[in-house]
Amino acid sequence: MRFTKMQGAGNDYVYVDCFHETLPMPPNELSIQLSRPHFGIGSDGLILIEPCEGAHARMRIFNKDGSEGEMCGNGIRCAAKYLYDSGIAPSEQLDIMTGNGIRRVWVNVSAGKAVSARVDMGEPCFEPARIPVNSDTNTVVLELCGKKLKFFCLNTGNPHAVTFDCFPEGEEFALLGRAAETHSVFPQDANVSFAKVTGREEIHARIWERGSGPTLACGSGATATMVAARFQGLVGDRAYVDLPGGRLLIEYDADTNHVFMTGDCVEVFTGDWKNQ
């Protein structure tokens, strides 16, 4: 099976072109095998690029634990790069179906290759039942590992919980992230952002990704973090979100209530995986 390894802001996935390749096993099992370092390729998960009526392609995301996600902001930029660079869809404006609906992506091209992309992340959802969160409001206070933290909850393609109450490192980040991800208040678990605002257009964030754990970057998480900061009056309508793997520009359009994310998309290598 031919694959391509790509990353956006350090968020890396193994991509399989299902226009031309056939999977050797169910995708959830394949994601687990491919994502393992040392024994597999090593990645944050598996992304399938499939034919889709009504869009240039469909993107399916499988986390490293085999669970299927709805949307990945970094992943869709790289999927757009693959579609453009491979000639499957050589357009600088692409419509890609996700588990959360069609997302439009504009690729920025240099020397005939897509090098970055801007994604319409859609409208953020604040309704508790649709995030989903077991609460009457989208703000919850959780006691985690002896700390009381306030989380602003929303869905930006995936369920997210964002806190500005602490910015943990190392083992504390892992303990708090794991505890928040699987808390009973989140019926479908959640991606968890720990963030701090350092300027009117500058946010630093560390994100614990649902089904994958600590990640160098999470596009929908960066989007959720900026939106949470914006709706609490901490930033304006645009801000850079600095993540361990890189920087993403997030812009909120108040006229349409849509959020746009811009960042890099990089091919790391291609190869053939043999089922053993």
Q: Which one is catalytic: 78, 125, 153, 218?
A: 218
Residues in the chain: 276
Beta-carbon count within 10 A of 110 CB: 8
Q: Known catalytic residue: 166?
A: no
Give just the sign of the alpha carbon dihedral 164, 169, 170, 171: negative
Within 8 A by CB and 6+ apart from 221, the residues are 73, 156, 158, 160, 191, 193, 205, 207, 209, 215
Q: What is the dihedral angle through the alpha carbons of 163, 165, 169, 175, rounded to the nearest 10 degrees?
A: -70
In one-letter notation, the amino acid at residue 275 is: N
Which entry of 72, 125, 153, 265 is annotated as an active-site residue? Answer: 72
Separation between Cα atoms, residue 248 and residue 116, nearest integer Å: 11
Tell me which residue has tokens 């694959």: 3
Query: Does the annotation count 52 as an active-site position?
Result: no
Q: Chain-centre distance of CA 28, in angstroms?
A: 18
Are the C-beta atoms of 32 and 61 separated by less than 8 Å?
A: no
List strand residue ranges (DSSP E) for the chain, in order. 2-8, 11-17, 45-50, 57-63, 68-69, 93-98, 101-110, 113-120, 139-144, 147-155, 159-163, 191-199, 202-209, 213-215, 238-243, 246-253, 258-264, 266-272
By annotation, the residues acting in catalysis are 72, 218
